[in-house]
Amino acid sequence: MKTLLFLLIFSVSLFSKVEIHLSHTNVKHGTTFAVIFQNDTNMSQAPNVIFKHKTYQMFTINGSIKKYRVFIPIDYYNKLQHENVQVSYRIKDNIIKKKFEITVVDGNYKQNEIIEVSKGKVTLSSENKVRSAKEYNQVYKDVYSKITPYDLAKKSLFQAPMRSKITSDYGNARVYNGKTKSYHSGTDYRAKVGTEIYATNNGIVALVMKRFYLGNVVYIDHGRGAFSYYSHMSDFSVKQGQKVKKGDVIGLSGKTGRITGPHLHYALRLYNVTVDPLQYSSLYNEIVRKYK
Ligand SMILES: [Zn+2]
């Protein structure tokens, strides 16, 4: 009986041509990798990926139930080490688990980016601590905890939020008034107050808010756990819940929040992890072009 069962599992997996592909095997901390799943017959349910004890449901590519993808973020503070990636899927009544491994490698980000700001915005007063915590709770509720299961970007490629020069890249370690406090969690664009900011892709405005550090900020939901956001704005031209198309003006750049001078801070959260927004965009675009 055991032999028979074994043969059955073997033949089922033999006759269904499953191909699983990882976009990278060496992944920089603070970036994203993709897992692609393809079968030659329809799947009865979506496969999933387990990475660092978290389950990521895979999503169909263009509505096909033979092809699936998922983008997985690596936290900036992830140790530089091997990590397991487990893909599991159902063929008839069998759950099949395939193991892969990636290596988290050094992003070689710039160290010691020195920033001078007013003291009250580095060491928070108790009043500002309360404000900061309240803000976080609201953003968590409306943005970070949400996963819209549809591709709100609708197969459209990501573009830049502004036609301007990049002045600071994602990942730079930041020293505020002589103390290492954090890393740069987005990409900065040179922008004088009043410069138009564009939605980098199609989506829905998840939240419009005035924040202590980020100043006036717009969060756009692109679906499947991806949110882009735009900070330090002087003016908003969108409302919460509004649909936006790639390239729509969502507001104007400014100098609100914790900031040394006017600029646009553009960032991206994927499953509640802040990743390099430009690396995510180019990977997303590459996968959309390659798998149709
Ligand atoms: Zn920034």
d(CA 8, CA 2): 10
What does the mean pLDDT of the chain come to?
90
For residue 181, the domain's CATH number is 2.70.70.10
Do 199 and 246 lie in one domain? The reply is yes
Q: Which CATH number belongs to the domain containing residue 6 in this structure?
A: 2.60.40.1930
Find the domain containing 186 and state its range: 113-290
Q: 80 with 145, same domain?
A: no
Query: Ligand 1 centroid to 64 CA: how many Å?
Result: 38
CA distance 33 to 45: 22
Number of domains in the chain: 2
Distance 184 CA to ligand 1 centre (A): 6
- Residues 130, 100, single domain; the answer is no
Q: According to the model, what pLDDT value does residue 128 have?
A: 82
Residue range 68-110, pLDDT digits in tens: 999 999 999 999 999 999 999 999 889 999 999 999 999 999 8
| 183 and 79, same domain (yes or no) | no
Give me ligand 1 centre to Cα 185, in Å. 7
Task: Compute, in angstroms, the gap from residue 285 CA to the centroid of ligand 1.
Answer: 23
Query: Domain check: are 250 and 168 in the same one?
Result: yes
Ligand 1 centroid to 235 CA: how many Å?
A: 18
| pLDDT tens, residue by residue, 161-177 | 999 999 999 999 877 66
Q: Are residues 126 and 202 in the same domain?
A: yes
CA 145 – CA 266 distance, rounded (Å): 20
Q: What's the pTM?
A: 0.89
- In the listed set 105, 130, 150, which residue is the last one of a domain according to the structure? 105
Q: How far apart are CA 33 and CA 94, in angstroms?
A: 27
pLDDT tens digits, one per residue of 178-199: 666 688 999 999 999 999 999 9
β-sheet with 113-115: strand ranges across:
113-115, 173-176, 179-183
**Looking at the structure, do residues 147 and 278 belong to the same domain, yes or no?**
yes
> Of 51, 83, 105, which closes a domain?
105
Judgement on whether residues 75 and 121 belong to the same structural domain of the protein: no
Q: Are residues 130 and 180 in the same domain?
A: yes
State in Å: Cα 1 to ligand 1 middle.
63
Tell me how far the alpha carbon of residue 171 lies from the centroid of ligand 1, in angstroms. 10
Q: How far is the CA of 25 from the centre of ligand 1 (A)?
A: 28
Residue at a domain's end among 80, 105, 130: 105
Examine the domain organization and report whether 210 and 66 are in the same domain: no
First-to-final CA distance of the chain:
42
- 163 and 240 belong to one structural domain: yes
Assess whether 84 and 195 both reside in one domain. Answer: no
Q: Cα of 28 to ligand 1 centre, how many Å?
A: 20
